Chains A and B, each alone.
Chain A
Amino acid sequence: MRILKIEINNFGKLNNFVLEPGSGLNLIYGRNEDGKSTIMAFIRMMFYGNVGSAKELGANARKKYRPWNGSSMGGAIEFLHGGKRYRLQKRFGQTAGRDEVHLFNMDTGEPVALRSDEEAGMHFFGMTLDGFERSMFIGRSGGFESRDGKADGITERLVNLTTSNDENVSMKQTLEDLNKALEQLVSKRGNAGLLVETRERATELDRELREAKAEESAKRATRDELETLLTLQATEKERLEKVRERRKEADRLAKETEEKREKLNLAERRNALFEAEKQKREEVSAVKIQQTEEKMNQAREASESGKELNLIPVFAGFCVLTACAAIALAVVFKPVFLLLLLAIPVFLLGEMSAVSRRRRMRIYREAALARAGKLEEELEDLLEAVGRQGEEDEKNKKRLEAEEKDAADQLKRTETRRSELIKQLSSDDGLEDSIIEREQKISEIRAFLRPEGRALSEIIDERSEVLEQLAGYEERYEALKLAIEVMEEAGEELRKNFGPRLNTRTAEIFSGLTGGKYSNVNVSKNFGVRVLEEGDSFYHEGGYLSNGTNDQVYFALRLAIAEILTEAEKEMLPLLLDDIFEQYDDERTAKGLRFLDAYSSERGGQVILFTCHRHVLEMAEKVTEHSGFFDLSSSGT
């Protein structure tokens, strides 16, 4: 990139100022008040005034360089970049947001659009203001620290470049990110972070699981005991069912026994009653029979009684006899004996009465006989009745006896069953109690077995999830560590590639500047510089050197760095040097000027050197061949 024209309409004290630097070394001389710094500030503002990036510059510069006459602040810069010519025009408003910017390709007339937050400098040089100042602007001070000690653009870019060979890839940032990611997993002190916490949780869960398992196994024996008890309890409960049935049966039997006893009593009573009745009846019957018998006998007797000899024949005979006798006698003897015939009527009367008596007796006897007969019949009937009754009684008796026996038997059986049952039950006595006791024990065991913590399945589930997570984190951790390790290795290797380059180039430039006085330069990681004087055998720190030489060293370093940085751009950037020879003696100054002259023409890069020392200008006129000169004091404002 080459600045073709600087047009300052109004900026600070400069008004309608135009400067057209050449392609090689350009010297701009101006006294302190002539506008050197104004031009430099203008260049800065043009390329980096857009967004208040360097607040210091933005706000203060606007104030500082705002024209007193109130007219608008602004100007233009024309430059060559990538083979194209551009014109950047700006009118500065009160704030960067109010700036009017016009940027267009001078060859085609096409405007070039910048993004709203993009600075022209960023767009063309690819670096921030800091980077710009560090690489294009080289001021007086030596050293290489950034103004405020923080990482600045150039450092960053240089580091990027020397470490990644790609300015946009910042090894530092990448490493930072990787380390931050690592710290997310394990904090710096190692007491926090996802990995650490997850590991802790896993350990906790391990412990919880171990305890739960230990509890389980400790309780295993108890658990087995519980199983046994449960099985036993189940059987015992079944048994209890049966026992209860039996008890019910026993009760029922008791009732039955009572009933049976009742029945027996009833039967007995009936039997007794019957007996009594029978007895009575028999008695009555007996009496009746006896009576009847008696009566019959009496009747019989009576029928036999008065039985007289049927004397009628006898009587008749007697009569006959008597008659005969009487007759006989009468005949024989005296008829008195016919008086005997009187006896016949007597006898006949007597006989007639006897006959009527006999007839009466016979009727009586017949009656009696009839009575006897009837009585006999009656007696027979009675006897028959008695007999029948007796049979019936017998039957009834048998029946009743049988019933009684039956009742007795039943009772006996019932009683026997009952007593058997009771005997059986006696051995089951206390079954309920034992069951209740066992239930109690079971409850106790269950309460004892109740897990003290969470359910095992819950612990196991959570643990496996956590372990999975942990494995993921551990993989990530190891991968990050590996990445960091390899990254640092690669970075180191790259840096090693650049280190020597920087060393070499710095040494070359330094040598050129000092006319070969110092042969070697060593640039450390932090861009500290040590020099090896010709003939010397050890390196001197920068502080050992005189200020002038120190300046030269750092100038050489800056130049080398600028070269490397701009190399990446593939476009040489102009070098704006601000009175870098201030502390040089004449010899050094001459050497330096010659160097710059050669440098710019060899490398085809534009160099603009500002100085407020006339002798520099004069010396340059003397020793350089390709330079352009500008005297601000004479250009008028």
Chain B
Amino acid sequence: MTDSVRILHCADLHLGAAHISLGARSRTRRTEFRNTFHRITELAKKEEVNLLLVAGDLFDLPVVPEDICVEVRDAFAALSPLRVALCSGNHDPAVSDSVYLREDFWPDNVTIFSSGMRVEEFPEIGIRLVGAGFTGAYSPHTQLRRMVLPEDGLINIGLMHGTIVSEGQGSDHNPITIRQIENSGLDYLALGHIHTRKAPARAGKTTYAYSGCTEGRKFGENGQKGVYIADVSHNGCDVRFVPVCERRLEYEEFDITGLNGNGEIAEELRELLTKTVGPDYREQIIRVTLTGEAESGVLSTEAVEVLLSDIWFLDLIDDTTPVIDRNELEMGNTLKALFIKKLEERAGEVPEKRIELAKKLCLKAFAGKLL
């Protein structure tokens, strides 16, 4: 009879993703994703967990290059006798040539859930594992079926890749309702698929959580990424977050109105990033949208990017408007002024955004900077 067990819960590692949008940096990024994977296995060892769970999408594709598969297998084998449990996700479903289905490939300490829900008991670590995996890109039926778990000394832990929905709502990716979780009788349900980490919650006596992805891949997956270390017992769970990502994705908006020249813009932007992203902003992947009014011909995103080339990856988007001479507009007898007046008259019939964009494009064209 064990009082509590310690598990490491991670998900959505997406090993094998190409990261094309990072251009020249994509190769390095691919390596970094693999490094993060190793950081996780090291962490599992260091934290002396009883069980390492990967809740789906360990790989980015159903079939990834062989060297990645071998690297993963060897890392898991090296953890032995620490038990590792994986389930296949919608990005790496157990289709016919999936590495998950290979016989004689995975070491003995790895358990893989690659189809419908099933139960496996590991009395030596005091855990009963209930898991399910994707056999295709879609799973419109829930994989968390009704079950009655025996009340004994074993800690009941669930492992699934899926989407939490409200009653009556459906999903293409293993819909799970809170009620189902409540009725499951599990002590902890390790979920994957949602890339944004969610704080652990309780449904009945079950604690469930999305650990979120472990390394950001596209903007939207911003901020710190990592894993959950949970001490699970029949009476409750103690869950804490441990960051493992090598780099963060960050997004900012920056108004350059009133700034003179690319040098000043770069300097001010640097200050902003130091404040909002942190003193380690140089190591991150950052996208900044420049807004406000720019003197025509002055702003060059390339020049600013060069001045900030010590940032690992910086994507500047020019969303500025050319400066409008208020006097000229006031006088109203030039084409420019007349154009703006007539454009604004269209406000009722045309969406605001389009008017703004038309204004911006035309002012650029007036200044000869459109093309």
Q: Which residues of A approach B to under 8 Å, CB–CB?
A: 163-166, 169, 171, 173-174, 177-178, 180-181, 184, 212-213, 216, 219-220, 223, 226-227, 230-231, 234, 443, 446-447, 449-451, 455-458, 475-476, 478-480, 482-483, 486-487, 489-491, 493-494
Additional A-B contact list (15), CB under 8 Å, known A231-B116, A486-B362? A165-B335, A177-B368, A178-B370, A181-B361, A213-B138, A216-B138, A219-B136, A456-B90, A478-B354, A479-B357, A479-B361, A482-B343, A483-B358, A486-B358, A494-B338
Chain A residue nearest to B21 (CB atoms) is A465
Chain B residue nearest to A231 (CB atoms) is B116
Alpha-carbon distance A223/B346, docked complex (angstroms): 55
Of the candidates A169, A184, A475, A483, which one forms a contact with B334 in the assembled complex, judged by CB atoms under 8 Å apart? A169
Within the complex, the shortest CB–CB distance from A41 to chain B, in Å, comes to 34
Of the candidates B91, B137, B333, B341, which one forms a contact with A451 in the assembled complex, judged by CB atoms under 8 Å apart? B137
Q: Are the C-beta atoms of B62 and A181 separated by less than 8 Å? A: no
Q: Are the C-beta atoms of B365 and A486 separated by less than 8 Å? A: no
Chain B residue nearest to A165 (CB atoms) is B334
What are 25 A-B pairs at a CB distance below 8 A? A166-B336, A169-B336, A169-B366, A171-B335, A174-B362, A213-B138, A216-B137, A219-B136, A223-B136, A226-B135, A227-B116, A450-B97, A451-B95, A456-B90, A456-B137, A476-B361, A479-B357, A482-B346, A482-B350, A482-B355, A486-B342, A486-B343, A487-B362, A490-B342, A493-B342
Q: Are the C-beta atoms of A443 and B96 separated by less than 8 Å? A: yes
> Which residues of chain A come closer than 8 Å to B118, judged between CB atoms?
231, 234
> Which residues of chain A come closer than 8 Å to B333, judged between CB atoms?
165
On chain B, which size bracket covers the interface? 35 or more
Q: In this assembly, does B371 line the interface, its C-beta being within 8 Å of a C-beta of chain A?
A: yes
> Which residues of chain A come closer than 8 Å to B183, judged between CB atoms?
none
Provided the pairs A231-B116, A486-B343 are in contact, do residues A493 and B338 lie with their beta carbons within 8 angstroms? Answer: yes
> Which residues of chain A come closer than 8 Å to B61, judged between CB atoms?
455, 457-458
Q: Are the C-beta atoms of A475 and B138 separated by less than 8 Å? A: no
Alpha-carbon distance A479/B358, docked complex (angstroms): 4
Most chain A C-beta atoms within 10 Å of own C-beta, residue among B60, B136, B360: B136
Q: Which residues of B approach A to under 8 Å, CB–CB?
A: 60-62, 90-91, 95-97, 101, 115-116, 118, 135-138, 140, 333-336, 338-339, 341-343, 346, 350, 353-355, 357-362, 365-366, 368, 370-371
Q: Are the C-beta atoms of B335 and A181 separated by less than 8 Å? A: no
> Which residues of chain A come closer than 8 Å to B335, judged between CB atoms?
163-166, 169, 171, 174, 487, 490-491, 494
Most chain A C-beta atoms within 10 Å of own C-beta, residue among B61, B333, B339: B339
Q: Are the C-beta atoms of A456 and B135 separated by less than 8 Å? A: no
Alpha-carbon distance A241/B116, docked complex (angstroms): 21
Alpha-carbon distance A178/B366, docked complex (angstroms): 9
> Which residues of chain B come closer than 8 Å to A487, judged between CB atoms?
335, 339, 362
Q: Are the C-beta atoms of A231 and B115 separated by less than 8 Å? A: yes
> Which residues of chain A come closer than 8 Å to B342, judged between CB atoms?
486, 489-490, 493
Of the candidates B95, B341, B358, which one forms a contact with A449 in the assembled complex, judged by CB atoms under 8 Å apart? B95
Within the complex, the shortest CB–CB distance from B27 to chain A, in Å, comes to 20
Chain A residue nearest to B143 (CB atoms) is A227
Provided the pairs A216-B137, A456-B137, A486-B346 are in contact, do residues A178 and B62 lie with their beta carbons within 8 angstroms? Answer: no
> Which residues of chain B come closer than 8 Å to A456, judged between CB atoms?
90, 136-138
Q: Top 10 A-B pairs ranked by shortest CB distance? A: A456-B137, A164-B335, A446-B96, A479-B357, A490-B338, A483-B358, A479-B358, A483-B362, A177-B365, A490-B339
Alpha-carbon distance A180/B360, docked complex (angstroms): 16
Alpha-carbon distance A171/B339, docked complex (angstroms): 11
> Which residues of chain A come closer than 8 Å to B360, judged between CB atoms?
479
> Which residues of chain B come closer than 8 Å to A491, judged between CB atoms?
335
Chain B residue nearest to A460 (CB atoms) is B137
Alpha-carbon distance A213/B91, docked complex (angstroms): 15
Alpha-carbon distance A494/B339, docked complex (angstroms): 10
Most chain B C-beta atoms within 10 Å of own C-beta, residue among A169, A231, A476: A169
Provided the pairs A163-B335, A181-B361, A223-B135 are in contact, do residues A174 and B366 lie with their beta carbons within 8 angstroms? Answer: yes
Chain B residue nearest to A446 (CB atoms) is B96
Chain B residue nearest to A166 (CB atoms) is B334
Alpha-carbon distance A475/B358, docked complex (angstroms): 9
Of the candidates B115, B343, B361, which one forms a contact with A226 in the assembled complex, judged by CB atoms under 8 Å apart? B115
> Which residues of chain B come closer than 8 Å to A482, judged between CB atoms?
343, 346, 350, 354-355, 358
> Which residues of chain B come closer than 8 Å to A489, judged between CB atoms?
342
Provided the pairs A169-B366, A455-B62 are in contact, do residues A476 and B338 lie with their beta carbons within 8 angstroms? Answer: no
Q: Are the C-beta atoms of A475 and B366 separated by less than 8 Å? A: no
Q: Are the C-beta atoms of B96 and A178 separated by less than 8 Å? A: no
Alpha-carbon distance A100/B300, docked complex (angstroms): 38
Of the candidates A165, A455, A479, which one forms a contact with B137 in the assembled complex, judged by CB atoms under 8 Å apart? A455
> Which residues of chain A come closer than 8 Å to B341, judged between CB atoms?
490
Within the complex, the shortest CB–CB distance from A562 to chain B, in Å, comes to 21
Within the complex, the shortest CB–CB distance from A499 to chain B, in Å, comes to 15
Q: Are the C-beta atoms of A164 and B334 separated by less than 8 Å? A: yes
> Which residues of chain B come closer than 8 Å to A234, judged between CB atoms?
118
Of the candidates B338, B368, B371, which one forms a contact with A181 in the assembled complex, judged by CB atoms under 8 Å apart? B371
Within the complex, the shortest CB–CB distance from B326 to chain A, in Å, comes to 16
Q: Are the C-beta atoms of A164 and B336 separated by less than 8 Å? A: yes
> Which residues of chain A come closer than 8 Å to B368, judged between CB atoms?
173, 177
Most chain B C-beta atoms within 10 Å of own C-beta, residue among A184, A223, A230, A490: A490
Alpha-carbon distance A445/B366, docked complex (angstroms): 64
Q: Are the C-beta atoms of A449 and B357 separated by less than 8 Å? A: no
Q: Are the C-beta atoms of B334 and A178 separated by less than 8 Å? A: no
> Which residues of chain A come closer than 8 Å to B135, judged between CB atoms?
223, 226-227, 449
> Which residues of chain B come closer than 8 Å to A443, judged between CB atoms?
96
> Which residues of chain A come closer than 8 Å to B62, judged between CB atoms?
455
> Which residues of chain B come closer than 8 Å to A476, judged between CB atoms?
357, 361
> Which residues of chain A come closer than 8 Å to B355, judged between CB atoms?
482
Q: Are the C-beta atoms of A178 and B354 separated by less than 8 Å? A: no
Within the complex, the shortest CB–CB distance from A490 to chain B, in Å, comes to 4
Q: Are the C-beta atoms of B95 and A177 separated by less than 8 Å? A: no
Within the complex, the shortest CB–CB distance from A123 to chain B, in Å, comes to 21
Chain B residue nearest to A447 (CB atoms) is B96
Alpha-carbon distance A457/B371, docked complex (angstroms): 36
Within the complex, the shortest CB–CB distance from B295 to chain A, in Å, comes to 16
Alpha-carbon distance A494/B341, docked complex (angstroms): 13
Q: Are the C-beta atoms of A174 and B365 separated by less than 8 Å? A: yes
Alpha-carbon distance A455/B138, docked complex (angstroms): 11
Chain A residue nearest to B333 (CB atoms) is A165
Within the complex, the shortest CB–CB distance from B325 to chain A, in Å, comes to 11
Alpha-carbon distance A358/B69, docked complex (angstroms): 123
> Which residues of chain B come closer than 8 Å to A447, judged between CB atoms?
96
Alpha-carbon distance A223/B90, docked complex (angstroms): 14
Provided the pairs A171-B335, A181-B365, A483-B362 are in contact, do residues A446 and B137 lie with their beta carbons within 8 angstroms? Answer: no
> Which residues of chain B come closer than 8 Å to A449, judged between CB atoms?
95-96, 135-136
Of the candidates B60, B339, B354, which one forms a contact with A479 in the assembled complex, judged by CB atoms under 8 Å apart? B354
Most chain B C-beta atoms within 10 Å of own C-beta, residue among A169, A234, A447, A486: A486
Alpha-carbon distance A180/B118, docked complex (angstroms): 62
Within the complex, the shortest CB–CB distance from B14 to chain A, in Å, comes to 10
Alpha-carbon distance A164/B331, docked complex (angstroms): 13
Chain A residue nearest to B89 (CB atoms) is A457
> Which residues of chain A come closer than 8 Å to B371, judged between CB atoms?
177, 180-181, 184
Chain B residue nearest to A179 (CB atoms) is B365
Alpha-carbon distance A589/B60, docked complex (angstroms): 90
Within the complex, the shortest CB–CB distance from B315 to chain A, in Å, comes to 14
Within the complex, the shortest CB–CB distance from B363 to chain A, in Å, comes to 9
Chain B residue nearest to A487 (CB atoms) is B339
Chain A residue nearest to B332 (CB atoms) is A165
Q: Are the C-beta atoms of A457 and B338 separated by less than 8 Å? A: no
Within the complex, the shortest CB–CB distance from B78 to chain A, in Å, comes to 28
Alpha-carbon distance A455/B17, docked complex (angstroms): 13
Within the complex, the shortest CB–CB distance from B162 to chain A, in Å, comes to 15
Chain B residue nearest to A445 (CB atoms) is B96
Alpha-carbon distance A392/B339, docked complex (angstroms): 134
> Which residues of chain B come closer than 8 Å to A450, judged between CB atoms?
95-97
Alpha-carbon distance A382/B334, docked complex (angstroms): 155
Alpha-carbon distance A494/B61, docked complex (angstroms): 60
Alpha-carbon distance A166/B91, docked complex (angstroms): 59
